[in-house]
Amino acid sequence: MPTARVLGGGPAGLMAAEVLAGAGVDVTVHERMPSPGRKFLLAGHGGLNLTHSEDRDHFVTRYGESAERIAPMLERFGPDVLRAWAADLGEPTFVGSSGRVFPQALRATPLFRAWLARLSDLGVDIERRTSWSGWAGDVGSADRTLLITNETGHTREVTSDVTVFALGGASWPHLGADGTWVGPFTARGIDVTPLEAANVGVRVEWSDLFADRFAGTPLKNVSVTVSGGDPQRGELMLTATGVEGGLVYARGAAIRNSLKAHGRCAVRVDLRPEVSLEDVAKRLGKRRAKDSATNWLRRSIGLDPASIGLLRETSGGTLPHDAATVAALIKAVPVVVTGTMPIDRAISTAGGIAWTEVDERLMLRRMPGTFVAGEMLDWEAPTGGYLLQASFSMGVVAAHGALAWLEEQHS
Ligand SMILES: Cc1cc2nc3c(=O)[nH]c(=O)nc-3n(C[C@H](O)[C@H](O)[C@H](O)COP(=O)(O)OP(=O)(O)OC[C@H]3O[C@@H](n4cnc5c(N)ncnc54)[C@H](O)[C@@H]3O)c2cc1C
């Protein structure tokens, strides 16, 4: 019976383990934490957004520059198959109003428990509290022997016919994935793009007054433009240190690029995206003499206190008086982003093993027989179920790649 070692017990690794074991491979998973799937289970606290229901053409664009590499993986194991897989584990899914797909239980625990039971039935051995700590042999050698370290610090050498790496990125490191794999990989000459925070809040230097009053308040139905790109509509959450939420996450790559180039990034927030500039100015033109600025903005254009606070904050504390200037401000509030929150607060990680290092079946070109899946690779996507979908799909593709490679070795 051929053997496989899967490093990392997250969605990508466990999916690879399931496919390999289902094909009759003797699979051992090494997971450094006392239990696998911790990030997956945490994702369940937010309802577990497994995937998205939008059509394929839109779906693939969510992977930006990696769309071309990921598209064939979605063909192999796409949203419908993922939903069928969950249903088969006793957790049917539904499409929420935003098009996002969730398990009916809105939690990860029942699905994950059923999955672990299936893996056990398939004979998958999950060795908990065992960490991959590198490869045996000299740096630069092609030795595929793995070093596995247990919690007492004892390291042993293990081998297998195929290996699948699925050690994740570096966000929320206390859940297990901390990016320490980058060192041994780069030492072997594998090109790894530096890991960076993705789907993370951004920093804005709010005044104490504004932060105290409005942290935790959402700005609903606004649109955001970053570096002259297309405006995107949605909700922003004001925080004590800046802004977070799907709208900034979706433009994360553009924000990071601007921060790298200029040290800051000008984000324009349109507080009334459904009303034209002319109409905003017209409505503001009907100010009653006795109206305070707050009343004027609330009555004529329906701005809430947080939006009015933001206008004041970004115009030095005092609002301009004339309608045309205020209208222009409402349609493009300049918010200066000075940084992103740290990677340990990020939902996911950008960067990772360069696509040039793996073939279409996710095998490392420099290490035949070794495959990589999930957030370890250099891709990113916004929230919306795209992260888990790609991680699962890559687990499937890497496992099928490993099976094909095993067959080639014996033919
Ligand atoms: C708060 C939060 C909410 C999220 N919600 C969603 C959501 O609703 N929808 C969505 O699509 N995505 C969501 N995500 C993102 C999603 O969880 C990840 O993209 C996904 O888990 C990545 O899967 P992975 O298998 O590549 O890595 P991980 O899930 O990170 O798994 C990697 C595993 O490898 C183990 N490991 C690491 N290093 C070693 C080592 N040296 N030896 C042995 N084991 C090791 C880790 O302990 C971990 O178990 C969320 C993330 C967070 C943080």
Q: What is the mean pLDDT of residues 336-344?
A: 95
What's the 133 CA to ligand 1 centre distance in angstroms? 18
φ, ψ of residue 254 to 5 degrees: the values are -65, -40
Q: What pLDDT score was predicted for residue 162? A: 98
Q: Find how far residue 188's CA is from the centre of its chain.
A: 27
In angstroms, what is the span from residue 168 Cα to ligand 1's centroid? 5
Q: Which atom of ligand 1 is nearest to the CA of 131?
A: 42
Closest CA to 335 of 198, 197, 203, 200: 203
Asked whether the predicted pLDDT for residue 219 surpasses 80, the reply is yes
Distance in angstroms (rounded) separating the CA atoms of residues 158 and 86: 33
Cα 238 to Cα 32, 211, 333, distances in angstroms: 36, 8, 14
Pocket residues for ligand 1 (CB within 6 Å)?
7-13, 30-33, 36, 38-40, 42-43, 46, 48-49, 131-132, 166-168, 171-172, 176-177, 181, 347-348, 374-375, 385, 387-388, 391
Is pLDDT of 172 > 80? yes
The amino acid that residue 145 corresponds to is T
Q: How much is the pTM?
A: 0.92
Domains for the chain: give ranges and CATH numbers: 3-197+347-409 (3.50.50.60), 202-340 (no CATH)
Which residue of 387, 392, 394, 397 sits with most ligand 1 atoms within 8 Å of its CB, as the best mutation to test the pocket?
387
| Ligand 1 centroid distance, CA of 281 (Å) | 48
Q: According to the model, what pLDDT value does residue 268 have?
A: 96
pLDDT, tens digit, 9 for 90 and up, residues 279-316: 999 999 888 878 888 999 999 999 999 999 999 999 98
| pLDDT tens-digit map of 177-194 | 999 999 999 999 999 999
CA of 377 to the centre of ligand 1 (A): 13
pLDDT in tens, 355-367: 999 999 999 999 9
Residue appearing with tokens 């297990």? 176
Q: Are 228 and 365 in contact (CB under 8 A)?
A: no
Here the tokens at position 244 are 């977070």
pLDDT at res. 291: 83
Q: Strands, DSSP E only, in 169-263?
A: 192-198, 202-204, 218-226, 232-239, 242-244
Q: Is the pLDDT of residue 69 over 80?
A: yes
Mean pLDDT score across all residues of the chain = 95
